[in-house]
């Protein structure tokens, strides 16, 4: 691996701003590695060589003329392919959007580019972000760069894989029930789901509007802090975005956690593999040794999370995905009348998991079933929120496993949706509560697979969450060794 | 939907149902959709204008592009709440819902609307006749795009070869005003829509143009034998594009239902289409085929919590509603109920002339008459026609400086050339003669008709007309009759 690709985003931006390297050379290298690895990983659905190099040249020319391109100057970044960038196709990993090129930028795209970041491409995902392995992509699965026989997790598998493989220092994902944190854990990188409303959703193709939230993947805690500082903030185009300013996250580095009250969520430990639990205990010990006050805490309401989630998320999805009807964009299978065109287009365009969730959601909202399913699930959501609130009266932050298991084999769970759904049992409650949570790579299992630790914080307290993450980073032994064929490809690249 | 108001109105119901066979009465409720007169659409910044080239006022949000989000137009919300206040409704905390159905004029395949918690609830509208029509709700929602079917024979959906969609209308703000089933005759339906329209126009909510679709009406119609308490099956009639259609469609539909019952048939709950060309309602779909809209709270928008200050601020902007204008004029004229002149004078075009004239203390009878007759006949008035000109001319007439006939000619000249009344008077050569000029003319008439003058002077009052006629003839009608009489009488005293 070259020096440059060991550089964090923070280091790249600093080097580019100080004219030690050019944005063009950084982006060239990133593209070269992406091109070398993508046939193996299938992490990218689109690479924008021309656009990225043009953007890099602009950054270099700003610097040459004495200007300052921003905090992410020259940093190559990948976007999950459910976020819009003008001129690049957005597929959502679905056949139904094949060929659609959005005429507008997502707010996150604009914010990143305004700080000098370079969008190099769009990453693979489970179709419409529905899945936990990236096997549900219509464009084939993404592989885990640590072990190519295993999944990278999902749904933001392409983003996690591309950061873990060192193609880009930062990628954005979206997290509806764990779609950033679980793949971060399975690939051994940092992954952050901010407070719901912290980052604008404008330009993120909706899966479940009340749960979706955009966040970063990175190798270092600092890079995620930096990225979130750039993309967070009120957006007049997103009514659900917060007006409250977020405090500095990067300033949390090096702050003491002495006396910080940390709770281990009992319910999330119960169903997890022993090696995952053991890694969590090690992390807890490390925090205690840094002066944190670590206790166990029970939030029984979280046990209801998975069931509530699989009513609310599909219900919203069934409505959000109605617009893919063959009339205005994407795939169109012509029928003899409009109803037939709708049905043929959707039958051909959507994959099995998406259809399953549309049907679940349609059923949950149907007249006569609404109260028993959707309304009840919303009540459970309120319960979970109050469960967390109770816990946060006793502790400042929570920790838990991210995923009950490490990366599983391709095909291992794809035939059994319920088993697959259980991958997100520890992450879903944060989405239901709207709280921030992140995955920190912390240890490796006996097979060398990454194990993440989840840090959860109250709404709008990303600062506390990052303080703990920075503290934990020092004792992390979670940096995995990449699959031999990936290392080889990088060295030849 | 049954409520006590309906029962209170039972007497009126019987009286109004004479258009139906003996013993039957109409039960009718109306759903009126009004497009709001905002600069931009309900959830995006696209222009809200009628008649632009197709698909030019569109953006990711109103096209429902993937990833787009709605943001509520505050002005639309203000207007919607003002509608509620004008209808004496409760303006309350509310939320938006999604109404899910597939149709290509609906770009997201769901409509953002309000469901169980509307912005405005429980209001009413008083009709000029004194009848009170309950308003169940007035909620905010977005309009759909507009589909044009091409080819085929009928221009209707069935048999069309192609459908073209214009999304300029997609996302235009609408308020749907749902009345209670208090309407007892087709004429009352017309009166309700007409008064509602005037109210919406008066508060600046809508331009009220039914022909441009900015006011759209659906009618829920059922009938029952007088004396029966429960409601019978109702049908919803769509495509009522004018007041004439409204009256004809309700009349037809009520008779159709009575005929069905009299023939021992049942009325099926249906949505029916009014076909103006043949004067019939035609079944569109039955209740069983009705869609399940799967309403649920719109997660992309936040709940609305209007504050008291906000509501009171809007109330203060309402201005005088048609019912208040009517009451003012009825009282000013010393009447007990409204009449055609008053109804004309309170219209949005004319009332701006009436109000300041009355405020200036001018005679209400002449003011209302000149507005409702002369001014109305000159409508539509040019924007350059100044209200102060009308007031000035009224004063001239009331003070006798011009005659009624002259005032009418001057008004027409003012409207035509947009000039002040005194200039118009000059141009028409209608300048008043001075007392000296008049006295001179009168003296000439006296010397030419000494016998008649002697008779008049010694008490034959009927000869006053003789002299006034002579003066008018001599001055080509320019003389003010009142001034002539005053001078005649003064001269008679002297001699």
- Report the distance separating Cα A318 and Cα B109, nearest Å: 11
Please give the residue range of the domain that contains residue B158: 4-309
Question: Is A133 assigned a catalytic role?
Answer: no
Whether A365 and B294 lie within 8 Å, measured CB to CB: yes
In a domain, B189, yes or no: yes
- Do A239 and B109 count as a contact with CB atoms less than 8 A apart? no
Residue A128 domain-assigned (yes or no): yes
pLDDT for B472 equals: 85
Sheet containing B296-297: which strands, arranged edge to edge? B110-113, B97-100, B296-297
CA distance A222 to B226: 79
A102 with B110: Cβ contact below 8 A: no
Count of domains observed in chain A? 1
Sheet order of strands, A397-401 included: A44-47, A118-123, A76-80, A170-174, A214-218, A190-193, A437-444, A450-456, A397-401, A261-265, A293-297
Q: Does a structural domain hold residue B291?
A: yes
Query: Please, are residues B153 and B122 in contact by the beta-carbon 8 Å criterion?
Result: no
Q: Give the H or E element holding residue A57.
A: helix A49-64
Residue B421 has a pLDDT of 93
DSSP-derived 3-state class of residue A263: strand
Q: Name the packing angle between helices A221-231 and A462-473 (round to 10°).
A: 160
A206: which chain B residues are within 8 Å (Cβ-Cβ)? 66-67, 300
- Number of folded domains in chain B? 3
* Contacts made by residues B8-11, CB under 8 angstroms, sequence distance 24+: B9/B131, B9/B132, B9/B182, B9/B184
Partner-chain contact A237 B66, CB within 8 Å: no
End-of-domain residue from the set B274, B309, B344: B309
Nearest to A319 among B63, B98, B301 (CB): B98
For residues A41-51, average pLDDT: 98
Chain A touched by B69 (CB under 8 Å): yes
Give the distance, in angstroms, between the CA of residue A128 and the centroid of all CA atoms in the same chain.
Answer: 13
Q: Is residue A170 part of a domain?
A: yes
Domain that holds residue A426: 4-258+406-492
B294 and A CB contact within 8 Å? yes
**Chain B contacts of A102, Cβ < 8 Å?**
60, 65-67
Q: Which two tokens stand for residue A147?
A: 């072990």
Residues B237 and B255 in one domain: yes
Same domain, B220 and B245: yes
Q: Is residue A242 part of a domain?
A: yes
- Could you read off the pLDDT of A236-264 as tens digits, one per residue? 999 999 999 999 999 999 999 999 999 99
* Over residues A374-399, mean pLDDT: 98
Angle at A7 between CA A5 and CA A12, to 5 degrees: 110
Residue whose C-alpha is closest to residue B411's, from B364, B378, B444, B458:
B378
Q: A2 falls in which pLDDT band (50, 70, 90)? A: very low
Q: Is residue B314 part of a domain?
A: no
Residue numbers in A near B295 (CB within 8 A): 365, 370
B163–A104 C-beta distance less than 8 A: no
Catalytic annotation, pick one of A15, A30, A133, A155? A155
H or E stretch at B164 = strand B162-166
Residue B403 and residue B476 share a domain: no
Contact call for B71 and A239, based on CB within 8 A = yes
**Rounded CA separation A46/A42 (Å):** 10
Q: Do B102 and A365 touch (CB under 8 A)?
A: no
B96 touches chain A (CB under 8 A): no
Which of A201, A322, A339 is nearest residue B69 as measured by Cβ atoms? A201
Q: Report the pLDDT value the prediction gives residue B17, as an integer from 0 to 100.
A: 52
> Out of A8, A29, A30, A80, which one is annotated catalytic?
A80
Last residue in a domain, options B309, B343, B360 = B309
Instruction: Count CB pairs under 8 A between chains A and B.
Output: 101
Pick left, alpha or beta for residue A348 (phi over 0 → left; psi -120 to 50 → alpha; otherwise beta). alpha
Q: Is A218 helix (H, G, I), strand (E, B) or coil?
A: strand
Nearest by CB to A102, from B65, B109, B295: name it.
B65
Tell whether A265 is covered by a domain: no
Looking at the fold, whether B281 and B373 belong to one and the same domain comes out as no
Q: Per residue in B62-102, pLDDT tens? A: 999 999 999 999 999 999 999 999 999 999 999 999 999 99
- Rounded Cα distance between B248 and B18, Å, is 15
Q: Which two tokens stand for residue A373?
A: 């399913």
Chain A residues in contact with B165 by the CB 8 A cut-off are 327
* Unique residue bearing structure tokens 């004219």: A19
Find how far residue B388's CA is from the centre of its chain. 25
Residue B1: band (very low, low, confident or very high) from pLDDT cuts 50, 70, 90: very low
Kindly state the tokens that stand for B259: 């005929």
Position B5 pLDDT exceeds 60: no
Among B270, B201, B168, which Cα is nearest to B32's? B201
Average pLDDT for A11-35: 97
Give the integer Cα–Cα distance in Å for B394 and B402.
Answer: 9
> Is residue A430 annotated as a catalytic residue, yes or no?
no
**What residues of chain A lie within 8 A of the CB of B68, using their CB?**
104, 202-203
Backbone angles phi and psi of B99, in degrees to 5: -105, 110
- Residue A397 in domain: no
What CA–CA distance (Å, rounded) separates A84 from A93? 13
Best CA proximity match to B131, nearest among B337, B335, B333: B337
Q: How many CA atoms lie less than 13 Å away from B449 in the CB half-sphere?
A: 18
Q: Is B147 within 8 Å of chain A by CB?
A: no
pLDDT at A6 over 80: no
Same domain flag for B392 and B422: yes
- Degrees, nearest 5: CA angle A167-A183-A254: 75
Q: How far is CA A469 from the centre of its chain?
A: 17
**Most B CBs within 10 Å, among A125, A314, A322, to test the B interface:** A322
Look at residue B213 in the predicted model and tell me its pLDDT: 86
Domain membership flag for residue A384 = no
- Does the beta-carbon distance from A102 to B301 stay under 8 Å? no
Determine contact, residues A145/A483, Cβ cutoff 8 Å. yes
Q: Give chain B positions within 8 Å (CB) of A362.
A: 294
pLDDT at A5 over 80: no
Chain B interface disruption, residue of A97, A196, A327, most B CBs within 10 A: A327
Best residue of B299, B302, B305 to probe chain A, by most A CBs closer than 10 Å:
B299
Residue B154 has what DSSP assignment?
A: T
B108, B244: one domain: yes
- Whether the pLDDT of residue B157 is over 80: the answer is no
Cite the DSSP H helix spans in B56-185: 74-86
Q: Which residues of B touch A234 (CB under 8 A)?
A: none
> Does residue B147 sit within a domain?
yes
Note whether B398 and B487 are same-domain residues: no
Q: What pLDDT is recorded for position A105?
A: 98
Q: What is the pLDDT of residue B310?
A: 98
Question: Does B72 contact chain A (CB < 8 Å)?
Answer: yes
The pLDDT of residue B52 is: 95
Decide if B110 and A315 are in contact by the 8 Å CB cutoff.
no
Q: Are residues B452 and B373 in the same domain?
A: no
> Average pLDDT of A308-324?
98
Chain A touched by B165 (CB under 8 Å):
yes
Answer whether residue A345 is part of any domain. Answer: no
Average pLDDT over all residues of chain A = 96
Residues of A in contact with B110 (CB under 8 A): 319, 322
Whole-number Å distance between alpha carbons of A79 and A185: 19
Nearest CA in chain A to B107: A323
Q: What angle do CA B444, B447, B453 make, to 5 degrees?
A: 110
The nearest alpha carbon in chain B to A90 belongs to: B66
- Give B25's strand partners: B224
* Range A205-224 average pLDDT: 98
Quote the pLDDT of residue B151: 73
The tens digit of pLDDT for each residue in B350-376 reads: 999 999 999 999 999 999 999 999 999
Would residue A206 count as lying in a domain?
yes
Mutate to test the interface with B, among A85, A91, A105, A202 (most CBs of B within 10 A): A202
Chain B (172-231) residues lying within 8 Å, Cβ to Cβ, of chain A: none
> What's the whole-number mean pLDDT along residues B377-384?
87
CA distances for B236 relative to A430, B29, B140, B209, B287, angstroms: 46, 9, 21, 22, 10
Mark whether B456 and B483 lie in a shared domain: yes
Q: Which residues pair with B218 in a beta bridge?
A: B31
Residue B465 is part of a domain; what is its CATH number?
Answer: 1.10.10
Whether residue B331 sits in one domain with residue B284:
no
Residues B337 and B451 in one domain: no
Rounded to a whole number of angstroms, the distance from the CA of A254 to the nearest CA of chain B is 38
Q: Give the helix, strand, coil percentages of chain A, each rounded to 5.
A: 45, 15, 40
Kind and range of the H or E element at A150? none
CATH of the domain at A469: 3.90.1300.10
Q: Are both B166 and B282 inside the same structural domain?
A: yes
Alpha-carbon distance of B381 to B416, in angstroms, equals 9
The residue from B379, B397, B427 where one domain ends is B427
Whether pLDDT at A201 is above 60: yes
Q: Is pLDDT above 60 for B412? A: yes
């Amino acid at each position: 691996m070259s020096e440059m690709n060991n550089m964090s985003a923070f280091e790249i931006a600093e080097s580019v701003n100080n004219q030690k390297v050019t944005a063009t050379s950084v982006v060239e290298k990133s593209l070269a590695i992406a091109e070398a690895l993508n046939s193996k990983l299938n992490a990218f659905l689109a690479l924008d060589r021309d656009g990225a190099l043009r953007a890099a040249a602009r950054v270099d020319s700003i610097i040459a003329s004495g200007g300052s391109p921003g905090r992410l100057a020259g940093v190559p970044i990948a976007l999950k392919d459910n976020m819009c960038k003008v001129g690049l196709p957005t597929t959502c990993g679905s056949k139904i959007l094949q060929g659609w090129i959005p005429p507008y930028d997502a707010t996150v795209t604009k914010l990143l580019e305004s700080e000098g970041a370079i969008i190099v491409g769009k990453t693979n995902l489970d179709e419409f972000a529905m899945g936990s392995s990236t096997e549900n992509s219509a464009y084939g699965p993404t592989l885990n760069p640590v072990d190519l026989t295993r999944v990278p997790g999902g749904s933001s598998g392409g983003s996690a894989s591309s950061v873990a493989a060192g193609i880009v220092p930062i990628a954005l994902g979206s997290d509806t029930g764990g779609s950033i944190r679980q793949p971060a854990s399975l690939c051994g990188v940092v992954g952050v789901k901010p407070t719901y409303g912290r980052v604008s959703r404008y330009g993120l193709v909706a899966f479940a509007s009340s749960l979706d939230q955009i966040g970063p993947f990175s190798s270092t805690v600092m890079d995620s802090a930096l990225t979130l500082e750039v993309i967070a903030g009120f957006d007049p185009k997103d009514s659900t975005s917060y007006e409250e300013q977020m405090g500095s996250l990067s300033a949390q580095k090096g702050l003491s956690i002495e006396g910080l009250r940390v709770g281990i969520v009992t319910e999330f430990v119960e169903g997890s593999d022993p090696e995952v639990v053991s890694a969590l205990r090690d992390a807890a010990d490390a925090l205690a040794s840094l002066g944190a006050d670590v206790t166990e805490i029970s939030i029984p309401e979280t046990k209801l999370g998975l069931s509530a989630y699989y009513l609310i998320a599909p219900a919203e999805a069934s409505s959000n995905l109605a617009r893919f009807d063959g009339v205005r964009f994407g795939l169109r299978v012509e029928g003899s009348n409009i109803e037939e065109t709708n049905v043929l287009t959707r039958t051909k365009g959507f994959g099995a998991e998406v259809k399953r969730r549309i049907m679940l959601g349609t059923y949950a909202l149907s007249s006569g079933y609404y109260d028993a399913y959707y309304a009840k699930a919303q009540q459970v959501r309120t319960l979970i929120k109050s469960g967390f609130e109770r816990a946060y009266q006793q502790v400042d932050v929570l920790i838990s496993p991210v995923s009950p298991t490490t990366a599983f084999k391709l095909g291992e769970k794809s035939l059994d949706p319920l088993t697959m759904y259980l991958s997100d049992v520890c992450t879903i409650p944060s989405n239901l509560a709207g709280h921030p949570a992140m995955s920190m790579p912390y240890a490796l299992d006996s097979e060398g697979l990454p194990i993440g630790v989840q840090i959860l914080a109250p709404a709008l307290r990303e600062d506390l969450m990052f303080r703990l993450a920075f503290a934990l980073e020092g004792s992390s032994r979670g940096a995995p060794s990449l699959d031999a064929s990936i290392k080889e490809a990088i060295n030849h690249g | 939907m049954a409520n006590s108001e309906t029962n209170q109105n039972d007497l009126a119901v019987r009286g109004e149902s004479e258009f139906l066979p003996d013993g039957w009465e109409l039960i009718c409720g109306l759903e009126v959709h009004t497009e709001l007169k905002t600069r931009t659409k309900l959830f995006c910044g696209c222009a809200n204008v009628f008649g632009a080239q197709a698909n030019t006022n569109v953006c990711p949000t109103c096209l429902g592009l993937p990833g787009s989000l709605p943001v509520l137009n505050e002005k639309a919300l203000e207007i919607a709440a003002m509608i509620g206040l004008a209808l004496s409704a409760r303006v309350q905390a509310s939320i938006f819902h999604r109404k899910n159905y597939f149709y290509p004029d609906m770009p997201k395949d769901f409509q953002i609307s309000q469901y169980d918690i509307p912005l405005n609830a429980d209001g009413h509208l008083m009709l000029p006749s004194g009848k009170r029509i309950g308003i169940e709700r007035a909620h905010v929602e977005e309009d759909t795009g507009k589909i044009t079917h091409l080819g085929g024979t009928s221009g209707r959906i069935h048999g069309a070869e192609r459908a073209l969609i214009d999304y300029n209308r997609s996302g235009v703000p609408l308020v749907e005003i749902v009345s209670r089933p208090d309407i007892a005759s087709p004429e009352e339906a017309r009166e309700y829509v007409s008064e509602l329209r005037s109210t919406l126009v008066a508060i600046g909510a809508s331009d009220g143009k039914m022909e441009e679709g900015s006011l759209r009406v659906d009618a829920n119609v059922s009938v029952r034998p007088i004396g029966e308490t429960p409601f019978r099956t109702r049908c919803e009639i769509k495509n009522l594009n004018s007041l004439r259609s409204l009256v004809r469609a309700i009349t037809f539909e009520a008779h159709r239902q009575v005929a069905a019952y009299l023939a021992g048939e049942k009325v099926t709950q249906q949505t029916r289409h009014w076909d103006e060309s043949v004067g019939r309602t035609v079944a569109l779909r039955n209740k069983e085929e009705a869609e399940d809209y799967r309403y649920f709270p719109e997660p992309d928008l936040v709940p609305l919590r209007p504050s008291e200050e906000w509501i009171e601020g809007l109330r203060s902007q309402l201005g005088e509603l048609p019912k208040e204008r009517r009451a003012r004029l009825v009282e000013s004229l010393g009447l007990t109920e409204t009449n055609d002149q008053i109804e004309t004078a309170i219209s949005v075009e004319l009332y701006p002339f009436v109000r300041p004239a009355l405020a200036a203390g001018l005679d209400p009878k002449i003011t209302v008459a000149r507005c409702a007759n002369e001014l109305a006949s000159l409508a539509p008035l040019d924007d350059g026609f100044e209200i102060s000109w009308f007031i000035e001319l009224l004063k001239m007439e009331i003070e006798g400086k011009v005659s009624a006939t002259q005032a009418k000619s001057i008004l027409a000249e003012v409207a035509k050339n947009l000039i002040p009344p005194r200039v118009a008077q000059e141009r028409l050569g209608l300048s008043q003669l001075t007392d000296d000029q008049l006295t001179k003319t009168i003296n000439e008439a006296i010397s030419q008709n000494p016998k008649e003058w002697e008779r008049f002077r010694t008490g034959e009052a009927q000869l006053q007309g003789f002299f006034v006629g002579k003066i008018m003839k001599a001055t080509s009608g320019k003389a003010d009759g009142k001034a002539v009489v005053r001078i005649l009488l003064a001269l008679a005293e002297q001699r």
